[in-house]
Structure 1
Amino acid sequence: MKKLIKKHWPIFIALVVLLISLVSLLLLSLHKTQGKLIYTLDDAYIHMSMAKNLSKYGIYGITQYEFTSSSSSPLWTITIAAVYFIFGIHESVPFIINSALSVILLIVIYGILKSSSLGNFLVFVMLIIAIYFTPLLALIFTGMEHVLHILLCFIFIWVIAALMLEENERKAQKNSLLLFFLTIFIAMTRFESYAIILSGCILLLLKRKWKLTILIAIAGILPLVIYQMISVHHGWPILPNSILIRSQIYKYELFNSQQVMVINTAKYGLRVFFANLIFNFFTAQHLSLLVLLAILLLIVLLWISRPKWTKFIVVLVFFVITGSLHLQFGKIGHFYRYEAYLIPVGLIANLFGGIEIYKLKKKILRNKTISIILLMGLLYFMSFGLTALVSRGYNAFVQIPLASKNIYEQQYQMALFLREFYPQATVALNDIGAISFLTDVRLVDLVGLASNDVFKSRLEGSYKKDKIEEICRRNGVDIAILYDVWFYFEDIGGIPESWVMVGNWTISDNVVCGSSKVSFYAVKAEEKENLLKNLKLFANRLPPTVKQSGAYLELKN
């Protein structure tokens, strides 16, 4: 064992660092959440709720009552459901899975770096950077699919590189089969994976591997087509509502019918083509400067010589293509997660590119123009790109306990309130995760993630406060728990006049919730007195850091 540790000390120490950091953050979070394991995003509970309903009732939906196309990561939802089915439903499952996947991810990265003949110290530094710059710890605490996505991404890249360089036909066949299934899994994990799959296809085409390219394209499209067939069969759109809502396609009056969705989505893509690229470039310098540096290294390599394909070059080209596609079409942020899969890949790709550059240092030094451009590019990245990465990593680390506290004080308390006082009610909400997981209420999701009539209304451009009132009346909504401020955007016009506000909860130090203040409304007139009484009864159970206001506080005990 001692010999093994001595030989592979970088990965052992990196895993110890990960464990110490993870336990420290967990203890800090538990201290702020009165001993409850709370995820840093309400979205995690959406997966957990769908997994609960799938494992218990065989229903792929936010509630046990109907199918909903609400998860943008079917593989993650199914994985949690499988664990629930075998071991039982528990809130810690996503945390445990993510922790285990993080260990596997670091081992995979270690294997990639060691197979590239890098020194132990450099390998160790890259592993520590992967932990804090990704940021891996923040992704674990989200309870979502991003660690799995990064792991699959690294394996996908390395298999692509092996296939491009493999001359042994038998090994190539095995890797082709592995790549086929990897493509299916990665497509089911996140929709950003289509940038990864497209990059892989482009690389294979450059090596004229036509059959393999077609095979991978089919593997990527297959899960999407199957999902679309299931979703449309249940009367839902061809893509998960979470994807369509967050892309804000509905703002552009695109959908007149299901049949023109693809065409109109393409029009939307053209409309915001450059706007999205420019926005992402300046708001995500930690990624955009990594991509620019990789492009610079690739240009220098092509200028100085015509390098043969190596695993280093494959990874570099892969990152340039995928990173550029994400900056153009993808989203950035939302607790450091949307672009997280590209950060460790980008850092390693640039390291590999730097090694290839170093091999050509004599040729480069003879060319003053190239030398100056390369030096300026490196200095610019060190000044701005590295600063952005360090700042992002630090902010992610310190915000984890705060984010857990936010969810605990708001969404988790809302769920506890409903579970006790409205277990069989129908409730209108705009944050549905923790509530759907911890309760069995019927819900109307006023964002449209889990309510198709709301989503269709948004697509039609008819989503106003009168429409909200009609939808809630039709569904028999008793009370509503909302972010008021959300309903003054998108020309909705505010909250229906017939609804009566009876109280507010406000949290402090908000870093992840949609608003610091959540409001309680009696939707049915006869529910007002009951809601006042119930809020009063629950008031003393709220964490003391939650500021309460409203008519219910005036009631006598």
Structure 2
Amino acid sequence: MFHLGAFGPLLINGAAACATVFALLRVLETSGLFDDASDRPFSYLIALLVVFNVSAVALPMTGMEHSVHVWASIVTFVGLVAAARGCAPTPLHFVALVLLPLIRFEGAAFACAAIAGFALLGQRRFAAGAAIVIIVGLSGYFALMASRGLPLLPSSVLLKGYLANLDESASTLPAVVKNLMRSITSSYGLRLILLGLALAGYASRLRADRKALIVCLTVIAAIGAHLVFGQYGWFNRYEVYIMALTVAALLWAAAQVRPRLPALQWSFTKAALVLGLGVAAMPYVTTALVTPIAASDIYEQQYQMARFAQSFYRRAVAVNDLGLVAYGNTHYALDLWGLGSEQVRKARTAGQYGPAEMEALVSDHGVGLVMIYDAWFPKGVPSSWTKVAVLRTPTVTLSQRDVTFYRTQLADAAEVTSALEAFKATIPPRDRLDIIAP
């Protein structure tokens, strides 16, 4: 729509990250957290930690929707704070609230909690309007998916979600219980729990202030929902929205409690806040440091696969990791993993996916060359495929170092070999392409 090309996601997410940091620091400033002019080191340290706690450095580089989701979460929280002060939320707060579940389904939990929070804070028309828009928007999306014979939830949610019943564990525990157990035993989940408990402690101190208590409980409800239904990791992007929201609520609640604390107790509180935010920020600091390496990995593997498919082979290909290979490709890119293929997803979910199904797929779509991670297909590949090359990359952040190239019966052997040899002469110095079969 904006014709920004490949730089569009970076520009949009970079702007969202900057807007997130500005909105969060602004609400903390107006709440009085930084009122002590003699304590500038604390203010600067909190500001720095906020930058990393919302992953404003690394997250925009992923090129996905998560930075916008973090922005919508923080701006919705700012709207709740405004309502608690007796101010009417603005159209921007309305847009952020409505966007929460429309950007990512994970945003539905906080959206529902926030709608209830706004209603309890006296903004019933605002809450009702947001609820109606969200319901209409999601209903339209579900109707469109149903009309096309697709599942109501995206394949990425159904395949990657821990609640998708793809867990091969023999446990008879319900999926939500198993997911809660993952939260309790995960380092990410433990950080979230500790921050949530700290927020609950501040909420207890603020129980005489009904409106402040509502704001805190709204965020605590969202934390609980993520612990039960949410995920973590994936380059530290799946949980960042709830971590950012929790940090925002914790700092705001600390500012509300501050006037009630003696000087010495406030000093201990500041130290605890810095320590807590520092621990919470650790994964995102690490991710920021690793991001340049991750970008290099993408260039040396995924981008090279895309170059081969689009500039050398120039025919339909099959992959297990849709992305750059499919982006801007005028030829068909078959997904053998299921994120972009409902047929594959259903077969994997039913436990009926293996070499025979893979063979049928490449035949149906006229695919002559396959580029996959062998480790992702424990049942093996069709016996009719010929292993012709392996692209070896010194990756640090990608799932696998080696990408195996297979020629199917639909490909011309001489054409494939010629394309591989021409491609080999152009790959980066750190890559290695081993051509196996002529």
Q: What is the TM-score with the length of structure 1 in the denominator?
A: 0.70
Equivalent pair of 2:120/2:214 in contact (CA under 8 Å) = no
Q: CA deviation at 1:92?
A: 1.5
Q: CA deviation at 1:321?
A: 1.6
Corresponding position of 1:522: 407
Judged with a 3 Å threshold, the aligned counterparts in structure 2 of structure 1 residues 526 and 149 are, in CA distance, closer, same or farther, namely closer
Corresponding position of 1:9: none
Q: Is 430-439 or 90-99 further displaced after alignment? A: 90-99
> 1:250-399 counterparts in 2 under 5 A?
251-252=165-166, 271-281=174-184, 282-284=186-188, 285-302=190-207, 306-310=208-212, 313-361=213-261, 385-386=276-277, 388-399=279-290
Q: CA deviation at 1:229?
A: 1.3
Q: CA deviation at 1:380?
A: 8.6
Q: Distance in 2 between matches of 1:515 and 1:342?
A: 29
Q: CA deviation at 1:123?
A: 4.5
Query: Does residue 417 of structure 1 match 2:308?
Result: yes
Q: Distance in 1 between matches of 2:231 and 2:386?
A: 37
Corresponding position of 1:456: 346
Equivalent pair of 2:367/2:411 in contact (CA under 8 Å) = no
Q: Which structure would you say has the larger RCO, counting Cα contacts within 8 Å and 6 or more residues apart?
A: 1
Query: Does residue 96 of structure 1 match 2:1?
Result: no
98, 108, 114: which one pairs with 1:194? Answer: 108
* Larger helix fraction of residues: 1
Q: Distance in 2 between matches of 1:103 and 1:460?
A: 43
29, 53, 69: which one pairs with 1:149? Answer: 69
Q: CA deviation at 1:248?
A: 5.3
Structure 1 counterpart of 2:155, one-letter code: N
390, 394, 401: which one pairs with 1:508? Answer: 394
Report the identity percentage: 25
Corresponding position of 2:150: 236
Equivalent pair of 2:232/2:238 in contact (CA under 8 Å) = yes
Q: Distance in 2 between matches of 1:162 and 1:391?
A: 30
Query: Does residue 543 of structure 1 match 2:433?
Result: no
Q: CA deviation at 1:414?
A: 0.4
Residues 100-136 of structure 1: CA deviation (Å, up to 9, x unaligned): 2333223222321222133363544333212223221
Structure 2 counterpart of 1:145, one-letter code: E
Equivalent pair of 2:388/2:406 in contact (CA under 8 Å) = yes
Equivalent pair of 1:163/1:176 in contact (CA under 8 Å) = no
Q: Is 426-435 or 230-239 further displaced after alignment? A: 230-239
Q: Distance in 2 between matches of 1:206 and 1:403?
A: 45
Q: What is the TM-score with the length of structure 2 in the denominator?
A: 0.87
79, 103, 119: which one pairs with 1:159? Answer: 79
Residues 432-477 of structure 1: CA deviation (Å, up to 9, x unaligned): 1101114212122111122222223234432222112112212221
Q: Distance in 2 between matches of 1:320 and 1:250?
A: 25
Q: Is 400-409 or 234-243 further displaced after alignment? A: 234-243
Q: CA deviation at 1:271?
A: 1.5
Query: Does residue 497 of structure 1 match 2:388?
Result: no
Judged with a 3 Å threshold, the aligned counterparts in structure 2 of structure 1 residues 127 and 163 are, in CA distance, closer, same or farther, namely same
Q: Distance in 2 between matches of 1:210 and 1:272?
A: 35
Q: Distance in 1 between matches of 2:372 and 2:286?
A: 28
Corresponding position of 1:83: 2
- Structure 1 segments unaligned to the other structure (5+ residues): 1-81, 254-267, 366-370
Q: Distance in 2 between matches of 1:421 and 1:395?
A: 37
Structure 2 counterpart of 1:225, one-letter code: S
Structure 2 counterpart of 1:298, one-letter code: A
49, 54, 58: which one pairs with 1:134? Answer: 54
Structure 2 counterpart of 1:280, one-letter code: S
Equivalent pair of 2:390/2:433 in contact (CA under 8 Å) = yes
Corresponding position of 1:107: 22
Corresponding position of 2:292: 401
Equivalent pair of 1:446/1:454 in contact (CA under 8 Å) = yes
Q: Distance in 2 between matches of 1:347 and 1:509?
A: 33
Equivalent pair of 1:114/1:123 in contact (CA under 8 Å) = no
Q: Distance in 1 between matches of 2:217 and 2:361?
A: 50
- Number of equivalenced pairs: 426
Q: Distance in 2 between matches of 1:206 and 1:269?
A: 39
Equivalent pair of 2:313/2:419 in contact (CA under 8 Å) = no
Equivalent pair of 1:291/1:346 in contact (CA under 8 Å) = yes
